[in-house]
Each structure stands twice: as structure tokens, then as C-alpha cells.
């Protein structure tokens, strides 16, 4: 086969590979949450999933989208953030509905103070976000409260970004904060395992999915010459995932005495 014929064959193959990599980049991040969503919906129990996962990923991806306005990186990375935000809102909606349906005679909590007398009669008095009680932050009783909080954060950070968009230092810092926030997602799980001296109750399959996904994502960043913040924090994510897998190996091979307190909140990485 001559060079012209070979090139005619390679070009569409390369294009398909490129499209496949872009598609995997856009939708690969949400794949681990599909079985989690189905499991919560089936069991009507959201105790094994921490809503703070949604908080971290919402903040990280909103900041990443704002970073795009200052430095136009590849479109698949932008679409990945949009898809992840939609996914996290769906997870929040389901978890909130399940949690509230399982909680009887408890004080309803909200992002903003209730202004409806009928609502106050039908349900216990709501706790206002304006109380600044961090014990109740991101643990509200209505999905609309989470939406209000996300919109408020987006509006404030968007306005600040608009004012400082001409500053390259601000834009680069914004990009770093976006990917660094996401990279820190596994740290609470790492610390929890260390504190418990055990990985019991943690899904190893989920960790493997995170590791493979983060590895693919980091390689994609490097090969496509994404902003350096993406590559550095991608490598950090892989390092944290590998560290968690190392804990699985060590604590299973060399069981240690459990920490005094055994009751802990759900995993911060949906494990």
C-alpha cells in the first residue's frame, strides 16, 4: 500500500481515537457515580455517600469553567465540568430527598430563612443559613437550598473573575485552585483510613475506578498540553489514589488495632 493509501486509512482512525479520548474525558468522571446513584435509589439509603463530595466537585468545576474564560483550554475539559456539575446536582437532589424522607420529627434546615407561615406550620422551624452555624452548612432539607447556594457562589466568584480577568496572576491562580480543590478529594478518605487503621467498609472497586480515571485524565492533560495546573494536580490525584490502595494492601496484610472511635461519617470520595 502506498503512502497516500496508508494516510487515507490512518487519518480517520486517528480522528476516531481523538473523538473516543475526548468522549472518555467528558463522561469518564461521572461513571463511578452511576452505580452509587442507582444503589441509593434502590436502597433509599444515602448514608454511604457524603454530600461534601458534591460540594467539592461543584466548587472545583465552577472555578474551572471560570478559568476557561481567562485561558481557553480544550473544549472536552470544559464540557467535562458542565457534565460533572449536572451530575452532582442530580446526586444532591436524590440524597436530599432520601435523607429527608428517612428523618422524622427533625428540625428542617435551609439555606435561607423561611418566609412562609404555612410552611412553618407544616414543618418544624427552619434553621437559617444566616445563623452561620457551620454544623448545619451543606446539610439542608430542600434541594432548592443547595441550588441557591451554588448560584450564590457562582455569582460572587463570576463577578470577581469578571473584574480581574485581565490579571494573568489571578487567572492562573484561579486555574490552580480549581484543579487543586478536585485533587484534594481523596485526602479525607486517606486520613479516615489512617485514623481507623483499617479500610473496612470502603469499596476497593471504586478506588480502582478512581485510580484508572485519574491516570487516564492526567495522561490526557500531558499529551494535549493542557495548562500546567491540570497536569500537576492530576499527578497529585493519582498519588492520593495509589496511597489509598497502598493502605488497602497494608491494613489487609497487617491488621492493626482499630482506633477508639469506630463510628464515622460516609466517605468523602463516595467509596
Residue-wise pLDDT for 60-70, tens only, equals 999 999 999 98
Q: Quick one: pLDDT at residue 120?
A: 43
Three-class secondary structure of residue 12 per DSSP: helix
In the beta sheet, which residues pair with residue 127? 109
Angle between helices 168-183 and 51-70 (to 10 degrees): 150
28 DSSP assignment = G
Mean pLDDT calculated for residue range 54-78: 89
Question: What is the distance in angstroms between the CA of the first residue and the CA of the last residue of the chain?
Answer: 51
* Of the candidate ranges 32-41, 84-93, 126-135, 181-190, the one whose mean pLDDT is the lowest: 126-135
Distance (Å, whole) CA 76 – CA 225: 13
* Residues 140, 111 contacting (CB under 8 angstroms): yes
State residue 258's pLDDT score: 52
More confident residue, 218 or 106: 218
25-39, 190-204, 227-241: which has the highest mean pLDDT? 227-241
Q: Is the Cα torsion angle 131, 137, 140, 144 positive or negative in sign?
A: positive
Residue reference for cell 442530580: 90
Evaluate if residue 187 carries a pLDDT over 70: yes
What mean pLDDT is predicted for residues 244-262?
71
- Rounded distance, CA 268 to CA 52, Å? 6
Instruction: Compare 71 and 263 and report the one with higher pLDDT.
Output: 71
Count of other CB atoms within 10 angstroms of residue 42 = 8
The mean pLDDT of the chain is 77
105-114, 123-132, 238-247: lowest mean pLDDT where? 123-132
- Predicted confidence (pLDDT) at residue 170 exceeds the cutoff of 90: yes
Taking residues 82-98, report their average pLDDT.
93
Q: Report whether pLDDT(239) > 60.
A: yes
* Among 70, 91, 73, residue whose Cα is nearest residue 25: 73
159 pLDDT exceeds 70? yes
Q: What is the pLDDT of residues 193-213, one digit of tens each?
A: 788 787 765 667 777 877 888
Rounded CA separation 189/271 (Å): 8
CA 169 to chain centre: 26
Residues 6+ apart with CB under 8 A from 202: 189, 193, 248, 267, 271
Identify the DSSP state of 184. G
- What pLDDT does 77 receive? 83
At residue 84, the 3 state secondary structure works out as: helix
Which among 55, 46, 56, 40 has a CA at the least distance from the CA of 138? Answer: 55
Asked which of 28-42, 80-94, 154-168 is least confident by mean pLDDT, the reply is 28-42
Q: Provide the percentage of residues in the chain whose pLDDT is more than 70.
A: 75
Q: Contact 216/24 with Cβ under 8 angstroms?
A: yes
- Would you state the pLDDT for residue 261? 46
pLDDT of residue 111: 59
How many CB atoms lie under 10 A from the CB of residue 183? Answer: 23
Instruction: Report the C-alpha gap between 202 and 180 in whole angstroms.
Output: 24
Amino acid at each position: 500500500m502506498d503512502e497516500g493509501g496508508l494516510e487515507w486509512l490512518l487519518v480517520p482512525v486517528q480522528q476516531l481515537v481523538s473523538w473516543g479520548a475526548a468522549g472518555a474525558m467528558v463522561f469518564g468522571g461521572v461513571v463511578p457515580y452511576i452505580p452509587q446513584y442507582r444503589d441509593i435509589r434502590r436502597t433509599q439509603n444515602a448514608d454511604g455517600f457524603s454530600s461534601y463530595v458534591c460540594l467539592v466537585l461543584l466548587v472545583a468545576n465552577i472555578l474551572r469553567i471560570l478559568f476557561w474564560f481567562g485561558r481557553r483550554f480544550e473544549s472536552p475539559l470544559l464540557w467535562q465540568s458542565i457534565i460533572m456539575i449536572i451530575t452532582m446536582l442530580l446526586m444532591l437532589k436524590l440524597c436530599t430527598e432520601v435523607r429527608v424522607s428517612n428523618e422524622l420529627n427533625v428540625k428542617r434546615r435551609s439555606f435561607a430563612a423561611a418566609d412562609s407561615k404555612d410552611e412553618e406550620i407544616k414543618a418544624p422551624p427552619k434553621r437559617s443559613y444566616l445563623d452561620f452555624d457551620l454544623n448545619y452548612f451543606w446539610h439542608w432539607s430542600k434541594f432548592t437550598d443547595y441550588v441557591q447556594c451554588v448560584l450564590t457562589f457562582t455569582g460572587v466568584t463570576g463577578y470577581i473573575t469578571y473584574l480581574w480577568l485581565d490579571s494573568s496572576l489571578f487567572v492562573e491562580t484561579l486555574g490552580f485552585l480549581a484543579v487543586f480543590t478536585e485533587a484534594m478529594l481523596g485526602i479525607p478518605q486517606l486520613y479516615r483510613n489512617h485514623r481507623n487503621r483499617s479500610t473496612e467498609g470502603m469499596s476497593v472497586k471504586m478506588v480502582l475506578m478512581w485510580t484508572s480515571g485519574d491516570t487516564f485524565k492526567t495522561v490526557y492533560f500531558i499529551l494535549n498540553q493542557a495548562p500546567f495546573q491540570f497536569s500537576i494536580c492530576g499527578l497529585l490525584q493519582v498519588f492520593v489514589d495509589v496511597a489509598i490502595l497502598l493502605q488497602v494492601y497494608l491494613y489487609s496484610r497487617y491488621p492493626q488495632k482499630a482506633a477508639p472511635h469506630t463510628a464515622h461519617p460516609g466517605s468523602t470520595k463516595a467509596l
